Amino acid sequence: MKEPRRPMALAPRRPVLSLLRDFLDHSASGGLVLMAAAALALIVANTGLAPAYFHALHAYIGGLSLLHWINDGLMAVFFLLVGLEIKREMLDGQLASWGRRTLPGIAALGGMAVPALIYVGFAHGDPEALRGWAVPAATDIAFALGVISLLGQRVPASLKIFLAALAILDDLGAVVIIAIFYTDSLSLLALGADGVILVLLFLLNRAGTRQLWPYLLLGALLWFFMLQSGVHATLAGVLLALCIPLRHRPGGADDTANSPLHRLEHGLTRWVNFLILPIFGFANAGVSFVGMSPEALLGPVSLGVGLGLFIGKQIGVFGGAWLAVKLGVAERPAGATWPQIYGTALLCGIGFTMSLFIGLLAFPTHPEMQDAVKIGVLGGSVVSALCGAALLRVTGRALDARGEAVRVS
């Protein structure tokens, strides 16, 4: 006699923590790909392929150069993912409460203020160079997680989460800086059109619309009018992200793991980490050292950016974290020692993607200053990565599956 067929078990809902682990894994792997793309750009820019490389980037397609399509178009998708990550973490993740936000928040604030002050110290005599004050204030989450992933179990999971949360808040600060300080002339008509589109996106959200295509269609229009408005077009990605629902119903708490926000974030993560960011890195990291004078290598912009990232980030991030713990307003990440936190602060000096992006906004008509920014970003990021990884390797202890220390050769 046959046994009655049992109903198929429903697939278990993925917990938020597993989504965070996926995010960490993808960002770490993407960081390694980004490193390779940046290295390839430097090689190409200093070989016989350089003329073709630079000519291709400045070729015009549909009214914009290829470089503009990458920096204004593809990077809008990157900012969309950044916005989705910020919203998810703020509402339903590691930054969902003020207690969880305190330590990475104070560390991120210090990690933005001190590098900016160091840069200003180098560039204070040149009003044009001062426009780049925000360049060393950014941390590259994919690059930093890529480095920390190479250390495996020597770094406790709590420290990786701390780094991810800090970098997300750092990205939020960078978005605010771009919106306020790197917007020049404005078109009120285009801004008005963006305002209407944002109202429509808000109404879609409040109506509980779960299909993604209406949001994405309006998001494309938002990007177009943002491009015409004078506000940098990539900010359209962040604004669109804030309108994507995290829950099925407005104010509801049901099945957030399958919400429109999670579905879009999951769909974009691999594309951003393994295609968009490497393309951006390849298009923007290429700087030719042929005929470059020592003054260009050691000028106020390159030194301000490089030392801002390497010195300023470690002082600001570690100092902010130490102060928050000593004052009793936050707790140290579980299982992490102060030397490990210092090593993580060093990794925050990797400012690659966002720093290069802000540098392009700061000096849109000064190629020589853009090159100086690239030199400073590459130098500061590489030294920060090497020193941070070395310190974490020396101070870290590998953990087994039960969380106990094991011997590592």
Residue 95: predicted pLDDT: 75
Cβ density class 326-347: b for 16+ within 10 Å, e for less: eeeebebbeebeeebbbbbbbb
In the chain, domain spans: 28-183+232-396
- The CA distances from residue 349 to 26, 95, 202, 243, 354, in Å, are 20, 22, 37, 31, 12
Tally Cβ neighbours within 10 Å of residue 246.
18
- Which residues of the chain have a pLDDT value below 50? 1-3, 5-14, 250-252, 398-409
Q: What H or E segment, with its residue span, contains residue 192? A: helix 188-206
Residue 225: predicted pLDDT: 93
| DSSP conformational letter for 244 | S
Residue 316: predicted pLDDT: 96
Residue 261: predicted pLDDT: 92
Residue 175, classified by CB atoms within 10 Å of its CB into exposed (0-12), middle (13-18) or buried (19+), is buried
Three-state SS for 347?
A: helix
Report the distance separating Cα 18 and Cα 180, nearest Å. 35
Distance of CA 298 to the CA centre of its chain: 27
Residue 319, classified by CB atoms within 10 Å of its CB into exposed (0-12), middle (13-18) or buried (19+), is middle
For 54-100, how does the pLDDT look when each residue is reduced to its tens digit (9 = 90+)? 999 999 998 889 988 998 899 899 889 988 988 888 887 777 777 77
Torsion of CA 288, 293, 298, 300, to 10 degrees: -90
Residue 28: predicted pLDDT: 62
| Contact between residue 192 and residue 228 where contact means Cβ atoms under 8 Å apart | no
| Contact between residue 341 and residue 395 where contact means Cβ atoms under 8 Å apart | no
Residue 146: predicted pLDDT: 76
What topology does CATH give the domain 28-183+232-396? Answer: Na+/H+ antiporter like fold (1.20.1530)
Residue 258: predicted pLDDT: 80
Q: Are strands 398-399 and 64-65 parallel, antiparallel or unpaired?
A: unpaired
| Contact between residue 210 and residue 273 where contact means Cβ atoms under 8 Å apart | no
Residue 135: predicted pLDDT: 93
Torsion of CA 199, 201, 205, 208, to 10 degrees: 110
Report the distance separating Cα 171 and Cα 143, nearest Å. 13
